[in-house]
Amino acid sequence: MNQQLLENWHRRRRWARAGIGYTLFIALTLVFLSPLLFAALSSIKTDPLEYPPKLLSPQLNPRNWVQAARLGRQGGENAFFGGFTPGSTIEFDITYLTPHSQTPEPPEVIIPKRRPGAGLGAVFEETYAADYALVGPVRQIDQRPGSKEIDGATVDGLLTTYGFSVSYQGDGPRISRVPLDATVPPGQIYTGSTITASRIERRGRVASFDTISPGFLGYIFRNYQRVFQEAKSITSGTSLFTNWFGNSFFFALVRVITNLLLASMAGYALARFTFRGRHLVFMLLLVAQMVPVQVIFISNYLVLRDGIWGLSNIFGTPTLLNNIWGLIIGGAGTMIEAAKVFLMKQYFESLPRQIEEAARIDGASEWTTYWRVMFPMARPALGALVILSFQGAWNEFFWSFIILTSPDEIKTLPIGLLSFRQIYGTAGDWGLILAGAMLSALPVVILFIVFQKYFLEGVSFGGTKG
């Protein structure tokens, strides 16, 4: 009996230790991920600078999702992204609380000529919904007693709901957004509408909506939609964010391929080949990586400016500045980094030599042994190498900032986000900046999810089985 009690005590103790360990691990994970989670939630807000800050926003309210999809179908026959098309009619309602000391008055509803945002969105010609929209008469739908708590005090009065319609008159283009302002006399308090107002302005008198036909995705991810629609090249009219994304992806892809080939070949040679000066080569490689790139960037910049001593004229360009190939060549010194060579060297040394000896007995050459036998077996190390190389190239800032200055289309994503900060940050439009930052982090997260299994995969242990 005592033995059974002792075993039960030890079992409960093990479970308690496991529970404490997992709880601590989850708590630390939430602490480290909380800035990213808060940024992700703020990126969908209309006003990320609201104070006090809140985790929840109208964009996370399922009721608004349903209404946004319905309004999108009414305005643009598109439940996902909405819009405003000829012949469409949008039915909208809004509710105000009027204190008992006042008489309820219907709001004045207008469709303003409002540009989509600050910065680059204010440069291009805009098609305004105000030129085609007709606001129907405002009518009272419902009235009932109600109250609302404001600054800790409860205000009693009448809750009055007003309804109106917005119609697209005549023929015209498809319009992406229908802004709306509803103005009431002082004292009347906005309490709700078909979808929550984007802003309450002029001491509560004006309920302002960025668009009343957003669609489901257009309502939740409006800032992400703006990243592609508003940030356009002044010269070509193309999406700058798409160009920046493509430039960064191309640069990262070249960096990954060259790192995979060069680092794996160098690591394999240092791990398996015996030649005079092998350790000296590895030491020189380590020493070269100890020199910060900022120390030699002036000389490298001059070389790129002169087109590698004029050799770039062969390709029809006098200089490699403001050219994605200049960024690739300028960062050639980091294509084979000592840390990555060391990673591959250590991994190849952990693989049994019997595998190579068996390949040579079968008549394989050194290259065939490396490429057909050892390289496929190094998938765990190569997976880590892919993640490290892609992340380093994707977040490359210093060389990109030095080499890629103009035009805006040739910049990479980190430099493009810096221009977002300069253009939209001064106007306080942080929603678009946060959306761009979250999109820039997405490829690295996806890449880690795809290749994370290779960190734990033990291919080397299966090489000698059987």
Mean pLDDT per 10-residue interval, the chain, length 466 residues: 72 83 82 83 87 84 95 93 94 94 93 75 76 94 89 87 94 92 94 93 92 94 88 80 92 90 89 84 78 78 77 73 82 65 86 86 87 87 86 88 86 88 75 89 86 57 39
Where in the sequence is the domain holding 382, given as residue range(s)?
240-462
Three-state DSSP class for residue 368: helix
Residue 452 lies in a domain: yes
Please state the φ and ψ torsions of residue 79, each to the nearest 5 degrees. -70, -20
Reading the block at residue 94, the tokens are 């809004």
**Do 180 and 251 fall into the same domain?**
no
307: which DSSP letter? T
Q: How far is CA 93 from CA 77, 87, 161, 201, 212, in A?
A: 20, 20, 7, 18, 11
- For 416, residues 6+ apart whose C-beta sits below 8 A from its C-beta are 240, 241, 244, 408, 436
Which domain-ending residue is among 187, 221, 255? 221
- For 155, residues 6+ apart whose C-beta sits below 8 A from its C-beta are 97, 99, 147, 148, 149, 189
**Do 73 and 112 fall into the same domain?**
yes
- For 462, residues 6+ apart whose C-beta sits below 8 A from its C-beta are none
Question: What residues are paired with 183 via a beta bridge?
Answer: 108, 206
**Do 330 and 292 fall into the same domain?**
yes
Number of H helices, E strands in the chain: 17, 9
**Do 101 and 160 fall into the same domain?**
yes
**Do 354 and 423 fall into the same domain?**
yes
- AA letter at 391: Q
Alpha-carbon gap, residue 73 to 408, rounded angstroms:
37
The pLDDT assigned to 282 comes to 81
Q: Could you tell me if 284 and 370 are in contact, meaning their C-beta atoms sit under 8 angstroms apart?
A: no
Tokens 């303003």 found at = 112
Three-state DSSP class for residue 169: coil
- For 153, residues 6+ apart whose C-beta sits below 8 A from its C-beta are none
Beta strand pairing call for 189-193 and 108-110: unpaired
Q: Could you give the angle at which helices 2-42 and 430-451 cross, rounded to 10 degrees? A: 140
407: which DSSP letter? S
Q: Could you tell me if 246 and 452 are in contact, meaning their C-beta atoms sit under 8 angstroms apart?
A: no
Residue 187 lies in a domain: yes
Residue 201 lies in a domain: yes
**Do 345 and 432 fall into the same domain?**
yes
**Do 212 and 244 fall into the same domain?**
no
**Do 311 and 429 fall into the same domain?**
yes
Residues 321, 322, 325: CA angle, nearest 5 degrees: 75
The pLDDT assigned to 430 comes to 84
Question: What residues are paired with 89 via a beta bridge?
Answer: 167
Which domain-ending residue is among 221, 248, 281? 221
Of 213, 204, 214, 210, nearest to 107 by C-alpha is 204
Q: Could you tell me if 108 and 182 are in contact, meaning their C-beta atoms sit under 8 angstroms apart?
A: yes
Residue 435 lies in a domain: yes
Which domain-ending residue is among 193, 221, 249? 221
**Do 159 and 302 fall into the same domain?**
no
Run of H or E including 330: helix 324-330
Alpha-carbon gap, residue 413 to 436, rounded angstroms:
9
Alpha-carbon gap, residue 357 to 355, rounded angstroms:
5
The pLDDT assigned to 389 comes to 87
Q: Could you tell me if 419 and 432 are in contact, meaning their C-beta atoms sit under 8 angstroms apart?
A: no
Residue 43 lies in a domain: no
Residue 3 lies in a domain: no
Please state the φ and ψ torsions of residue 148, each to the nearest 5 degrees. -150, 135
Q: Could you tell me if 344 and 263 are in contact, meaning their C-beta atoms sit under 8 angstroms apart?
A: yes
Domains in the chain, number: 2
Residues 207, 211, 216: CA angle, nearest 5 degrees: 120
- Read off the CATH number of the domain in which 385 is found: 1.10.3720.10
Write down how long the chain is: 466
Reading the block at residue 60, the tokens are 């996370």
Q: Could you tell me if 354 and 272 are in contact, meaning their C-beta atoms sit under 8 angstroms apart?
A: no
Residue 268 lies in a domain: yes
pTM for this entry: 0.83
Residue 228 lies in a domain: no
Q: Could you tell me if 44 and 61 are in contact, meaning their C-beta atoms sit under 8 angstroms apart?
A: no
**Do 393 and 306 fall into the same domain?**
yes
**Do 263 and 406 fall into the same domain?**
yes
**Do 292 and 161 fall into the same domain?**
no
